[in-house]
Structures are given as structure tokens and as C-alpha cells.
Homo-oligomer: A and B are copies of this chain.
Amino acid sequence: MPAARIALDAFGGDNCPGVEIEGAVQAARGGVHVVLVGQRDKIEAELRRYPDVGRLPISIHHASQVITMDDKPGKAVRAKPDASMPVCFDLVQRGEADAAMSAGNSGAMLACGLFKYRRIKGVDRPAIVASLPTQGEFVTVLDVGANIDCRPLHFAQFAVLGAVYARFKHGRQSPRLGLLSNGTEEQKGTDLIRSVHHILAEHPTDEFSYCGYVEGDGVLRGEVDVVVTDGFTGNIALKVAEATGRLVGVWLRRAIAADTWSKLGAVFMKRAFAELKSQLNPDTYGAAPLLGVNGLAFICHGGSSPFAIATALRSATRSVHESFVPQVTEAVARHAELFAACRSLDAEAQPATNEKGVTA
């Protein structure tokens, strides 16, 4: 089997292109084939810092434009056809790469997925998926930002997409799936969440085992394998979890600095603290895939470190080699009945919108 080639947007993250290029070099040293996409002269200048670059499986594809974090997603992708991000998707479309990756504007990544790859038949709304560590195994959370206002149909599609991902990525054969809510009792949730609850409870599937509502505590104890939520709530929950982890780290450092005996103890605790630091670091969890489109796309944190980029690149090659997208397509096709039931509910409800400016 030929090596997977990942098209990496070199001008995506907050510290581009240095971070992307250092990450690419790290991954390439481990055998990952990377196509760096962006302004050739700047990429070449950065690459000169690595004396072994001539022996690494790295190539450059020039793209003259850049999409920024402030750009409106749908508009930017249309107005900047030669931006590094959409060009990554073009390379995949033309068979010159196998997956697209960027640490840039996540709304624009969604727009690229919709415009370039197109949606998988039966999927209305692609979702961005995060893996979070818990007291037990990793939990798959979606949507974490692609779809701000959702209808029951979208939640049901997220459930199927998330179950496929939990099986592929985390080895869950029959994932337990929960719906994020403000309590576990039947009467909790918004009207929308309650209608999703009823649909999932009334349509059992072999794809996942539906467990009802979950709260933050159940999620982080590892009581479910997949958490389904809308992209507004999911994005807020994800960022609150990450920020709380950082806050506890700050408190711990302050508490140590304030006490002489603790300062001494901390010297002995180097190994435990290194372990904790790595668990608290979202960079170790890999990129968030965009699920529900006809191709592989991975979204990295804007503030990703080179290590995070390298981890994401390595992890992406597995999705290429083990044909992840066809697994999604088949799972979606198996749930036409569930989605039809949601559609008849939706017909009575309100129109919904996704990340502003992106409609397809």
C-alpha cells in the first residue's frame, strides 16, 4: 500500500508557518508523507532550518492566498480560491493527497468540506468531532463547533457519525451514547433536546446503545463513549473543560510556590507532574476530524504546538489506510429509517442555520 499523503495548510495556525513546518518535519522523520501548502518562498525559508529536510518525504505545493481567523468562512473560501486551506482540499480531490489538515479557521474548514468534498449522501450537517480524556477511556464528543443551531435530524446524524468514529478511533464495538443535557432526569433538557431523546429512545440500532441524558460529571467519569450535542453547547463545554484544566495547573503551581516544603516535594514529584501535564495538554489528543463529508479533513487547534501537528499527521495516516470514510458512508446508509423519522418531526419545527455564511 502506498504511504498516505497529508496536505497540510502551512498558513493556518496562530504561529504559522513555523509551527506547521516543525510539526511536519517531526512527522516526516517518522515516515509520514506531508505536502506543505502555502507560499513557497516562506515555506522554503523555514525548511532551511532543518538540515535533514532533503531526505524527508516532504513536498511543497504553492498557494498564494491565506484565510484568516477573522474571515467569514463561506465567503472567504469563495473569494480566495488559491488560499492554502482550500488548495489542500483541491489536492485531495485531484488525487495528489489523501487527507487535508489545517490549524486555521474551523468554519472555513467546514466550508471547504462542504464545497469541495460535498456531503455524504444522507448527511445534512457534517460535524467536528473531539476526543476527550476521562477517568476511564476517551470519549467522542460532537458537534464541537460546526453547527450552531440544530434540529433533531442533525442530532441523530451526529449520533451515527460519532458511533462510527468511537469504533474506528477508540475501539468501542457497541458505543454507549449520551445526549448532553442539564440533568439526567426525563423532564430535563430544552424542548429540542427532549424530542431528540424520544427519537433516539424509540429507534434502537446496533450502531450504538443509547443511554439518555448525560451531564459533565458522567461524561468525565467515562460513563459513555459518545456525547451528542449541538455545536454551540459542545464548543462551550469543550473550551470550559480545557480552560479548567489550565486553571488547576495554575493553582497547583501557585500553591507550590507559596510553601517551602511543597517546593522541595515538587522536586521529587517531577515524574507525576510530567504525567499530569501530558494528560492536561490537548495537544496530545490529535486533531478533530470533520465527519460527514466525502473525504478526510482534520482540524487542529489554532494554538497547536509542533508536537500537536506531528501527532495529528501520524494519526491521520491511519484514517487513510483503514478507509474510514467508506465506513461512515455505510453506517449512514443503514440509518435511513431513523433519519426519515426525524425529518417528519423537523417539518413541524423551525428552520435552523449552521456556522454563519456556510450553506450548501
Contact = CB atoms under 8 A, between A and B. Distances in A.
B240 A244 contact: yes
Interface stretch (A27-35, A111-119, A245-253, A285-293): A245-253
B240 A252 contact: no
A109 interface: no
A259 B251 CA distance: 22
Nearest to A264: B268
Nearest to A241: B244
Interface residues of A, number: 68
Given A269-B269, A272-B258, A247 B356 contact: no
B217 A248 contact: no
Nearest to A253: B272
B272 A268 contact: no
Contacts of A357: 187
Contacts of A266: 265, 269, 272
A91 interface: no
A255 B271 CA distance: 8
A69 interface: yes
Interface in A219-262: 219-221, 231-233, 235-237, 239-248, 250-252, 255-256, 258-259, 261-262
A127 to B, nearest CB: 14
Contacts of A350: 350
Contacts of A236: 180-182, 215-216, 233, 236-237
Contacts of A264: 265, 268
Contacts of A232: 181-182, 189-190, 193, 233
* Contact residues of A: prevailing secondary structure: helix
A261 B271 contact: yes
A276 interface: yes
Contacts of A245: 244, 248
Given A135-B247, A255-B276, A262-B271, A145 B216 contact: no
A134 interface: yes
A353 interface: yes
Contacts of A231: 182
A70 interface: yes
21 contacts: A133-B247, A148-B189, A181-B232, A182-B235, A189-B232, A216-B242, A216-B243, A217-B242, A219-B240, A220-B240, A241-B241, A248-B248, A248-B276, A251-B275, A255-B271, A255-B272, A255-B273, A259-B271, A261-B271, A265-B269, A268-B268
- By Cβ-Cβ distance, the 8 closest A-B pairs, closest first, are A265-B268, A216-B240, A262-B272, A265-B269, A216-B239, A255-B272, A244-B244, A216-B243
